């Protein structure tokens, strides 16, 4: 069997189109423009790239982007004061603080100072609790993107056996909650799980969020299963030659060994071009959802958990 490739890039484009259509309606019918504020502390190059592309896509779907770039030595008090101001600002519907923060800043304290209804990353402790108890929450973007792709592929995932590899607060745990909320039978696995191969082999749905290149081989996968590969890992690619500085070029791979898994699975997300593009699309979806909730308006269909 050769798996169907779930094209996250194309799917993310349809999500952004839906967001843009909803934004246009909000402007036309209610004179409201959703706004997303992104706060970046320091000069981490990867974070700068993420923030730039978030800002660009926010504007592309018709929303307002507010970028706050603060120096690395910003004090906690100053950062909290900025968040308080954004919490009170009616033109800001979503607030995202780009992680990781410099070491002298308490990440939990900062994230929990965001108004939960504006917490478009879904990391605030209130949103974690709401999701865990099956209530209306802001849902973390990467797991939300995975769920959207799974629903699109399966229609309903109810009753399916799902195995999540990884138990992080940003991917593994919320992913498991979403699958449980959608009536899957869920197993969460981690670095101490015994007989991981046997556990994964039982799954109709495998979500791998580990951060170990090509860790899951095809012979762990049940024939016909759906494989969602969240991992983003850079590995040496000597076949691509060397860079100007003489170092070996790199390529991106997931946590699953793509070729062998695709031989067995029914469907699989590639890396790159699978889960990655869905994450920013879901950030935009969460912002428009937050804007609708703030204004007591109907939420956009198909963009929430």
Which residues here bind ligand NDP, judged by CB under 6 A? 142, 165-168, 170-172, 189-193, 196, 209-212, 230-233, 275-276, 279
Single out the catalytic residue among 54, 118, 173, 222.
Answer: 54
Measure the CA–CA gap between 236 and 210, rounded to whole angstroms: 19
Q: How far is the CB of 16 from ligand NDP (least distance, A)?
A: 15
Give the CA distances from residue 89 to residues 101, 115, 298, in Å, rounded to whole numbers and listed in that order.
23, 11, 22
Alpha carbon dihedral 148, 137, 285, 301, in 10-degree steps, equals 70
Is 121 an annotated catalytic residue?
yes
User: Would you give the DSSP letter of residue 114?
Assistant: S
Per DSSP, helices labelled H in 204-271 are 258-264
Single out the catalytic residue among 98, 119, 173, 222.
Answer: 98
Q: How far is the CB of 173 from ligand NDP (least distance, A)?
A: 9
Give the max Cα distance, the chain. 57
Q: How far is the CB of 147 from ligand NDP (least distance, A)?
A: 13
Single out the catalytic residue among 18, 118, 119, 121.
Answer: 121
The answer to whether the peptide bond before residue 47 is cis (omega within 30 degrees of 0) is no
Q: Which residues pair with 38 in a beta bridge?
A: 67, 96
Nearer to ligand NDP, 51 or 292 (CB): 51
Nearer to ligand NDP, 118 or 167 (CB): 167
Nearer to ligand NDP, 102 or 272 (CB): 272
- SS3 category, 242: strand
Tokens at residue 216, please?
């899951």
Nearer to ligand NDP, 26 or 280 (CB): 280
Q: How far is the CB of 281 from ligand NDP (least distance, A)?
A: 10
- SS3 category, 175: helix
User: Would you give the DSSP letter of residue 33?
Assistant: -
Tokens at residue 81, please?
């004061």
- SS3 category, 245: coil
**267-268 and 226-229 beta bridge pairing:** parallel
Q: How far is the CB of 144 from ligand NDP (least distance, A)?
A: 11
Tokens at residue 227, please?
């494989």
Write the DSSP assignment of 60-110 as a string of letters. Answer: HTT-EEEEEEE-TT--HHHHHHHHHHHHH-TT--EEEEPSSPPTTS-HHHH
From first CA to last CA, the distance across the chain in angstroms is 31
Nearer to ligand NDP, 166 or 300 (CB): 166
Nearer to ligand NDP, 80 or 232 (CB): 232
HSE at residue 107, side-chain half, CA atoms within 13 A, is: 10
Comparing every residue's Cβ against ligand NDP, the nearest one is 168
Active-site residue numbers? 54, 98, 121
């Amino acid at each position: 069997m050769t798996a169907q490739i779930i094209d996250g890039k194309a799917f993310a484009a349809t999500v952004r189109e839906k967001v843009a259509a909803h934004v246009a309606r909000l402007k036309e019918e209610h004179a409201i423009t959703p706004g997303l504020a992104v706060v970046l502390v320091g000069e981490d190059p990867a974070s700068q790239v993420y923030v730039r592309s978030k800002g660009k896509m926010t504007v592309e779907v018709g929303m307002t982007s507010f970028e706050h770039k603060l120096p690395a030595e910003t004090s906690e008090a100053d950062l909290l004061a900025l968040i308080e101001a954004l919490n009170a600002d009616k033109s800001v519907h979503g607030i995202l603080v780009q992680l990781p923060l410099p070491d002298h800043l308490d990440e939990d304290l900062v994230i929990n100072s965001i108004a939960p209804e504006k917490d478009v990353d879904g990391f605030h402790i209130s949103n974690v609790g709401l999701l865990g108890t099956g209530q209306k929450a802001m849902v973390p973007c990467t797991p939300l993107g995975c769920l959207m792709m799974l629903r699109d592929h399966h229609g309903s995932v109810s009753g399916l056996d799902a195995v999540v590899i990884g138990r992080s607060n940003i991917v593994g745990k919320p992913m498991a909650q979403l699958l449980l909320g959608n009536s899957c039978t869920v197993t969460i696995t981690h670095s101490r799980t015994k007989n991981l191969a046997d556990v994964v082999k039982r799954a109709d749905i495998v979500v791998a969020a580990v951060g170990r290149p090509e860790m899951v081989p095809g012979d762990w996968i049940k024939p016909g299963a759906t494989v969602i590969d969240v991992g983003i890992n850079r590995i040496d690619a000597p076949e691509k030659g060397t860079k100007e500085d003489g170092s070996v070029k790199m390529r991106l791979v997931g946590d699953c060994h793509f070729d062998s898994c695709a031989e067995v699975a029914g469907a699989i997300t590639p890396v790159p071009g699978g889960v990655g593009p869905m994450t920013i699309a879901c950030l935009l979806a969460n912002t428009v959802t937050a804007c609708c909730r703030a204004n007591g308006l109907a939420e956009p269909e198909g963009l929430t958990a």
